Amino acid sequence: MRRSQYALFHVQQQLKQLPILVDNLISAMKDKPLKAHYDGATACPVATEYGQAFIAEFGYDMKPKE
């Protein structure tokens, strides 16, 4: 996996979080409970050989995402 692909993956994850952030900010400004929730994910690059890698993606529950 190239660095640009890895960077794109992180941008995609951040874009998934954006609507949740916006909903919760609006709720907070209106003194309402925060109801939007992101199930979360993290990624770990795993080197397979020189210059090559793949991304292992896990949810916050530590179960692999498919």
Instruction: Provide the residue ranges of all domains of the chain, joining segments of one domain with +.
Output: 3-58
Lookup: tokens for 65: 């995402």
Task: Find, among 20, 40, 38, 39, the residue nearest to 28 by Cα.
Answer: 20
Q: What type of residue sits at position 11?
A: V
The pLDDT assigned to 51 comes to 77
* pTM attached to this predicted model: 0.52
- Per the model's pLDDT, the better-predicted residue between 4 and 46 turns out to be 46
Percentage of residues in the chain with pLDDT exceeding 90? 21
Lookup: tokens for 21: 């952030």
- Per the model's pLDDT, the better-predicted residue between 62 and 22 turns out to be 22
- The CA angle 54-8-14, to the nearest 5 degrees, is 110
pLDDT in tens, 29-45: 999 999 988 777 777 77
